Structure 1
Amino acid sequence: MAITTATGAKFFIGGTTSIDYTSDATAIAAFEALTWVPIGEVEDGGEIGDESADVTFQSLSDGRVRHLKGARDAGTISLVVGDDPLDPGQIALRAAEQTKFLYNFKVEYEDAPSADFSNSVDYFRGLVMSARKQIGAGDNVLRRTFAIGINTEILTVEPADTTP
C-alpha cells in the first residue's frame, strides 16, 4: 500500500456504550454496530497510538541506567475544529466534556489502495477532557480544540478487498 495524505479523514463520536474487549474481533464488531455522529470541520486530527512509559533502573555496579518498557499509553488527541456551534458532532463533544464518562470514537482514513478496497478505520474509547475555544486575531477562524484522553487500546481495521 502506498502512502497517502490525511485529507479525507473523518472523525466520529458514538455514545457511552461499553465495548467488550475480550477479543479484537468481538470489540470491532461491537464498535461497527454503533451509531456514529460525524464531527464536522476538523482541521487537525492530532496524533494517536501507543507509547510505552520509560521505566529506568540505575545499576550501582556499572553506573549505567537501564531502560525498560512500562505501561502503554495511547495518548491524548488534540482535535482542532473550525468552531461550528450547530454541528451535531461538536455539540456531542461539548456535552461529553461536561461528563466523566468514556465515549466511543471512530476515525476513518481515506487510504483505500484502490476502488476495490475499503478505507482503514481506528476505534477507541476516551474521555473528552477539554473543549477550549481559540479566538486569535481579527482574520482568524474561530477554532475549538477538544482534548480526548484515550483510555483503551486503539483497534485498527485495515483496508479490505470489497470485490464480490
Structure 2
Amino acid sequence: MTIASAAGAKIYIGTTVPASNETAFAADIYVEIKEIEDLGELGDESEAINFASLGDARVRKLKGARDAGTLVLVVGRDPLDLGQIAAKAAEKTSFEYNFKIVANDAPDADHTSSIYYFRGLVMSARDNYGQQNNVVRTTFNIGINTAIIEVPAEEEA
C-alpha cells in the first residue's frame, strides 16, 4: 500500500535540549500529547523573491528563505494529560522544544512507521468551549524553527 490514513498518528513534546540530527532528536525524552483531533500540516515553503526586468518586462522569481510553517495542533482538552500540560507550560516560555511525530504508515508488520523531528515554539494554547454539545478543544500553534527531519518507514532489523 502506498498511502496511509492519519488515524493512529501521534505527536510528542520533548525537552529544550538542542537537537539538530536524527540521533540527537531520538535521544531526547518525549511525552505524548494525547487526544489529537487534527495534527495540522508541516513542511518547508520558500519565500518568493521577485525581480521585474525593464528590458523584457518579465518578472523573474527566485527562492528565498525557507519556512517550515506553524503546526496547528487541535486536541480534545484533557487537563490531566501530561503532554497537554507540558505543551501549555511550554507556551508560557520563550524556549524552543523538540517535537516528534510518529505517522501510522508502516507498509506491513515488518516495517516501522515514519518519524518526523523538529524544534519549535509553542506560540499559543487556546481553549475552545464552543456550543452546548461540543467537545472542549485546545488549539496549540507550534512555530517550527528548524528543518524537519523525516525518518521514512523502514524494515525492522
Q: Into which bin does the TM-score normalised by the smaller protein fall?
A: over 0.9
Distance 2:95 2:35 in 1: 24
Q: Amino acid of the residue matched to residue 79 of structure 1?
A: L
CA-to-aligned-CA distance 1:78-121 (integer Å, 9 cap, x gap) = 00000111100000000000000000000000100110001110
What is the CA distance between 1:34 and its match in structure 2? 1.1
In 1, the alpha carbon distance for the partners of 2:58 and 2:5 equals: 42
Alignment of 1:12-27 (within 5 A): 12-19=12-19, 21=20, 27=21
Equivalent in the alignment of 1:24: none
Provide TM-score, normalisation by structure 1. Answer: 0.93
- Please list the CA deviations of residues 105-162 of structure 1 after superposition, one character each: whole Å capped at 9, or x if unmatched: 0000010011000111000000000001112111111101000000000001111111
Gaps in structure 1 of 5+ consecutive residues: 22-26
Matches within 5 A, 1:62-73: 62-73=56-67
Question: Which stretches in structure 2 are left out of the alignment for 5+ residues?
Answer: none
Where does structure 1 differ by over 3 angstroms across 4 or more consecutive aligned residues? none
Which residue identity does 1:9 align to in structure 2? A
Q: Residue 133 of structure 2 aligns to a residue in which SS?
A: coil
SS in 1 for 2:120: strand
Q: Distance in 1 between matches of 2:78 and 2:95?
A: 23
Matched residue, 1:113: 107
1:132 matched to 2:121? The reply is no
Q: How far 1:59 moved relative to its partner?
A: 1.0
Query: Deviations along 1:37-84, whole A, 9 cap, x unmatched?
Result: 000101000000000001111111222211111010000000000011
Match of 1:3 in 2: 3
> What is the aligned length?
157
| Aligned counterparts, 1:14-163, within 5 A | 14-19=14-19, 21=20, 27-163=21-157
Aligned partners of 2:73, 2:48: CA distance in 1, in Å? Answer: 26
Q: Secondary structure at the match of 1:96?
A: helix
For residues 79 and 154 of structure 1, the distance between their equivalents in structure 2, rounded to whole angstroms, comes to 16
Distance 2:54 2:76 in 1: 54
* TM-score in terms of structure 2 length: 0.97
Percentage identity across paired residues of the two chains: 57
